[in-house]
């Protein structure tokens, strides 16, 4: 069991990390290799700094709730027992959905990972064209939405409960995770591999905090394994960016919709890297921070509220389909940016902020970020306290959301993760209300 001081230090770790991470992305935007021409840089910087303050404030507000929760061997044992039972069901569902998911997401009966590795960009372009003409297996995606909680939970639960699972359970869950990753690799898509690499260390840390993983040597092996995985991801990312149609990566150029942006030829970091390293650095820095340029444009726009639907591509599209017309898609800030500034809504990043501002306005966005940070801190703390599957999965989703802050409103953009978020939030809220009622 962790002492009170150890627990608080570990609870603060995500806040410290993401404050540094977001600060780095802001630095790369203003001082990186891409010369973004922002009309009001002070206004943009002020908003980004205020957003990080809001995140810190929201995160710290969760401490009283987390601190009052108890962490006992009995609570951990109960959470692990129920979690492994849930994981078994989730793994079976994932395996049953394997072939249908492959047909829907790759167009083949099985994911062709060799083609994805060999020609990541080509595979991405071909799959994008296939989906653009209509997915013949779209019904599978709706089925995955209904099963989203189970499908999302397999990876985080398998990592956290690894030390308490049987060999058979580890093998089956590993196969399910490998299959999910193969869907992304075979289509040359970065997201799945990126999510795996950047969230795995946090899930391992959570397992140690819960006491479900006890391998003394892992403290030496884990950093080496993470560096190897991250290096592999960078290679996959760089290859994919070079081969993607219109990326301009090899020539240090980037088409923003209105103009071609040229990377600085004498950036101090680029000059230190070999050619392949320069390409990866410029691609990654462009990929991570381009959303802040869209944000700078969005801060100058006075748009009508999209009433809770515009922050999500999934929700906006379905709201338009139900009500007729295109108000929710086109009246969102990303939709307006595409119309008025030719910044593509579905091809370039906007950061999370314009998506949220479509519904809540600029000031409301700061409140929402504080609320999300509160849920993030709560899920991390309660996951360490209880090892319960709902808290672990919820923490994983919010972890992904915070990593993608400079890019988009990631968790809410697809129906699968959007529904998983709200399903888990419902169960967690119901559970906490019931606990408060029992204490009274």
Q: Is the pLDDT of residue 112 over 70?
A: yes
Element (H, E) at 420: helix 415-439
pLDDT at 250 over 80: no
For residue 411, pLDDT over 80 is answered with yes
Name every residue whose Cβ is closer than 8 Å to that of residue 268 and which is 6 or more positions away in sequence: none
Dist CA 416 CA 423 (whole Å): 11
Residue 229 is predicted with a pLDDT of 59
Is the dihedral angle over the CA atoms 219, 223, 228, 233 positive or is it negative? positive
- Predicted confidence band at 1 (pLDDT cuts at 50, 70, 90)? low
What is the C-alpha to C-alpha distance for residues 365 and 251, in angstroms, rounded to an integer?
A: 37
Classify 419 as helix, strand or coil: helix
Question: What is the number of alpha carbons within 13 Å of residue 420 lying toward its C-beta?
Answer: 32
Q: What is the mean pLDDT of residues 240-247?
A: 51
Does the pLDDT of residue 18 top 60, yes or no?
Answer: yes
pLDDT at 223: 62
Instruction: Return the higher-pLDDT residue of 162 and 197.
Output: 162
**Better pLDDT: 286 or 116:** 286
Q: For 255, phi and psi rounded to 5 degrees?
A: -90, 120
- What is the spatial distance between Cα 36 and Cα 287, in angstroms, rounded to a whole number? 13
Is the pLDDT reported for residue 310 higher than 80?
Answer: yes
pLDDT greater at residue 211 or residue 398: 398
Please say whether the beta carbons of 303 and 358 come within 8 A.
Answer: yes
What would the pLDDT profile of 131-179 be if each residue is shown by its tens digit? Answer: 777 788 889 999 999 999 999 999 999 999 999 999 999 999 999 999 9
Mean predicted confidence (pLDDT) in 117-143: 80
pLDDT tens profile 288-309 = 899 999 999 999 999 889 999 9
DSSP state of 34: S
Task: Report residue 390 as tokens.
Answer: 């709902």
Average pLDDT over residues 190-212: 89
Closest by Cα among 412, 409, 423 to 314? 412
Which three-class secondary structure state does DSSP give residue 209?
A: helix
* 273 neighbors 10 (Cβ within 8 angstroms): no
Q: Can you read off the two tokens belonging to residue 401?
A: 């959301």
pLDDT above 80: residue 437: no
pLDDT at position 274 is: 82
- Alpha-helix residue ranges (DSSP H) falling in 343-414: 352-386, 389-403, 410-413
- Give the SS3 label for residue 260: strand
Structure tokens at 322: 């139900």
Enumerate the domain spans of the chain.
Answer: 4-439
Nearest one of 24, 34, 27 to 265, comparing CA atoms = 34
216 — pLDDT class (breaks 50, 70, 90): low
pLDDT in tens, 369-405: 999 999 999 999 999 999 999 999 999 999 999 999 9
- Using one digit for the tens of pLDDT, what is the confidence trace for 49-81? 999 999 999 999 999 999 988 777 888 999 999
- The pLDDT assigned to 38 comes to 94
Q: How far apart are the first and last CA of the chain?
A: 28
Structure confidence by residue, pLDDT tens digits, 32-53: 999 998 999 999 999 999 999 9
Q: What is the per-residue DSSP string for 136-203?
A: TTHHHHHHHHHTHHHHHHHHHHHHHTGGGS-HHHHHHHHHHHHHHHHHHHHTT-HHHHHHHHHHHHHH
Q: pTM for the full model?
A: 0.92
**Residue matched to tokens 């950061």:** 351
Residue 180: Cβ-neighbour burial (10 angstroms; 0-12, 13-18, 19+): buried
> What helix, strand, coil percent values describe the chain, rounded to 5?
75, 0, 25
Q: Which H or E element spans position 114?
A: helix 113-118
**pLDDT (average), residues 178-200:** 87
Cβ-contact 157, 424 below 8 angstroms: no
pLDDT (tens digit, 9 = 90+) per residue, 79-110?
999 999 999 999 999 999 999 999 999 889 98
Averaged over 211-222, what is the pLDDT? 66
Q: What is the reported pLDDT for 193? A: 83
413 confidence band (pLDDT: 50, 70, 90): very high
């Amino acid at each position: 069991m962790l002492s009170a001081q150890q627990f608080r230090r570990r609870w603060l770790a995500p806040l410290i990390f993401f404050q540094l991470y977001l600060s780095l992305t802001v630095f790369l935007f203003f001082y990186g290799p891409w010369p973004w021409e922002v009309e009001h840089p002070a206004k943009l910087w002020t908003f980004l700094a205020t957003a990080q303050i809001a995140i810190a404030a929201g995160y710290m507000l969760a401490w009283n709730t987390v601190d009052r929760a108890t962490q006992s061997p009995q609570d951990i044992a109960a959470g692990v027992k129920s979690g492994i039972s849930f994981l078994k069901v989730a793994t079976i569902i994932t395996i049953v959905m394997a072939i249908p998911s492959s047909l829907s997401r790759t167009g083949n009966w099985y994911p062709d990972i060799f083609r994805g590795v060999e020609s990541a960009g080509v595979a991405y372009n071909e799959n994008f064209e296939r989906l653009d003409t209509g997915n013949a297996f779209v019904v599978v995606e709706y089925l995955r939405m209904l099963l989203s909680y189970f499908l999302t939970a397999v990876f985080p639960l398998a990592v956290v409960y690894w030390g308490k699972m049987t060999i058979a359970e580890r093998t089956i869950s590993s196969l399910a995770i490998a299959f999910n990753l193969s869907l992304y690799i075979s289509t040359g898509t970065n997201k799945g591999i990126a999510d795996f690499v950047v969230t795995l260390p946090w899930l391992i840390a959570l397992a140690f905090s819960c006491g479900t993983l006890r391998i003394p040597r892992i403290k030496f092996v884990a950093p080496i394994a993470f560096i190897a995985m991250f290096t592999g991801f960078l290679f996959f990312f760089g290859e994919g960016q070079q081969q993607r149609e219109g990326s301009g990566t090899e020539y240090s150029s980037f088409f923003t919709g209105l103009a071609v942006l040229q990377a600085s030829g004498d950036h101090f970091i680029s000059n230190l890297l070999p050619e392949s390293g320069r390409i990866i650095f410029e691609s990654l820095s462009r990929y991570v921070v381009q959303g802040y340029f869209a944000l700078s444009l969005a801060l100058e726009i006075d748009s009508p509220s999209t009433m809770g639907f515009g922050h999500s591509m999934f929700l906006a599209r379905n709201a338009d389909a139900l009500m007729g017309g295109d108000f929710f898609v086109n009246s969102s800030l990303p939709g307006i940016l595409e119309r008025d500034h030719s910044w593509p809504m579905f091809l370039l990043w906007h950061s999370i902020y314009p998506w949220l501002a479509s519904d809540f306005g600029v000031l409301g966005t700061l409140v929402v970020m504080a609320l999300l940070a509160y849920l993030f801190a709560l899920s991390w703390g309660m996951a360490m306290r209880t090892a319960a599957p709902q808290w672990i999965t919820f923490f994983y989703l919010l972890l992904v959301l915070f990593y993608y802050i400079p890019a988009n409103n990631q968790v809410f953009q697809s129906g699968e993760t959007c529904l998983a978020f709200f399903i888990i939030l419902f169960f967690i809220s119901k559970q906490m209300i019931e606990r408060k009622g029992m204490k009274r």
